[in-house]
Amino acid sequence: MILSLTGVGKAYETGGTRVEVLRGVDLAIGPGETVALTGESGSGKSTLLHLCAGLDRADSGRIEVAGQDLTDAPDPRLSALRRQTVGLVFQQFNLIPSLDVAANLAFQARLAGRHDPDWIAALADRLGLSALMSRYPEQLSGGQQQRVAIGRALAIRPALLLADEPTGNLDEATGDAVMDLMLELGTEAGAGLLMVTHSPRLAARLGRRVHLAGGRLAA
């Protein structure tokens, strides 16, 4: 398994009230497998994704990514995991505004010490970014920015690709094109994919769909 969650629980304090967002979530994703995570707004989808990326810590249960237990892993190990193993794609793109497209594409790969210029060039070509390499994020459209974000995530050839509403800010046509690319390149790289989405149409394009409600997952 590339991602394994067993009895994962997470609660937040909001206005003095404890809200249990996740209550014993179990999930397993194998290499090359694609899973859509759906649920109501505020159901905890993003929280679950953040736990899988090692961006946040679970209160209970166990999370393993590529064989590494994240439960009590110290901060530097979680950082290393994100650098080396996990590709992240956000709804807000979250590119680095001070770097141009070429530097943004290569950023995580260089952090991970796995910079492969040929692979980056191939990704740029496939993502239709070759002509935009010297532009800065603010000079790109939303679809172009999201393609850069996908390229950045795939540049490390991640074992696990985590995407949080990657097409949420794009129109349908652009969203479909971006989705095609992500699925195609993700599959080629052999990465497991967990994607948060509200769209049943997009969820249907993935291999499996799980629904989060009341803090628990249902198939």
Partner 1 sequence: MIRAAFTTLLSHWRRHPLQLAGLFLGLALATALWSGVQAINAEARQSYDRAAAVLSQDRLDSLAAGNGQDFDQKVFLDLRHAGWLVSPVLEGRWSHRGVPVRILGVDPFTLPSGSLPDAVTGQDRATDFLSAEGLAFAAPQTVDELTRIGAEGLPPLVAAEGMAPGILFVDIGVAQRLLRAEGQITRLLVAPDQPLRQRPLSEVAPALVRQTPVEQADMGALTGSFHLNLTAFGFLSFAVGLFIVHSAIGLAFEQRRPIFRTLRALGLPLRTLVGLLAAEIMGFALVAGIAGIALGYVIAAGLLPNVAATLRGLYGATVSGGLSLRPEWALAGLGMALAGAGAAAAQSLWRLARMPVLAPAQPRAWTRASARSLGWQTGLAGLLALIALAAALWGEGLVAGFVLLGALLLSAALVLPGALAMALALGERLSKGVIAQWFWADTRQQLPGLSLALMALLLALSANIGVGTMVSSFRLAFTAWLDQRLPSELYVTARTEDEARRLADWLAPRSDALLPIWKIDGTILGRPGEVYGVADHRTYPDHWPMLLGDQTVWQTLARGEGAIVNEQLWRRAGLHLGDPVPLPGGATRPLVGVYADYGNTRGQVIVGVADLVALYPDIDRLRYAIRTDPAKVPALRDAIEDAFRLPQDHMISQQEVKTISLMVFERTFAVTAALNVLTMGVAGFAMFMSLLTLSTMRLPQLAPVWALGLTRGRLARLELLRALLLAALTMVLAVPVGLLLAWVLLAVINVEAFGWRLPMHLFPKDWLWLGALALVAAALAAAWPAWRLSRLAPVHLLKVFADER
CB 185, min distance to partner 1, A = 18
Question: Footprint of partner 1 on this chain (CB under 8 A)?
Answer: 12, 46, 50, 53, 55-57, 75-76, 79-80, 82-84, 88, 90-92, 94-99, 103, 106-108, 110-112, 115, 152, 164
Q: Are 89 and 75 in contact (CB under 8 A)?
A: no
Q: Are 169 and 181 in contact (CB under 8 A)?
A: no
CA-to-CA separations, 128 to 91, 136, 145, in angstroms, rounded = 20, 15, 11
Query: Which residue's CB is nearer to partner 1, number 89 or number 178?
Result: 89
CB 187, min distance to partner 1, A = 23
Query: Which residue's CB is nearer to partner 1, number 22 or number 88?
Result: 88
CB 98, min distance to partner 1, A = 4
CA-CA distance, 92 to 146, in Å (whole number)?
Answer: 8
CB 219, min distance to partner 1, A = 25
CA atoms within 13 A on the CB side of 48: 36
Query: Which residue's CB is nearer to partner 1, number 28 or number 100?
Result: 100
Q: Which residues pair with 18 in a beta bridge?
A: 13
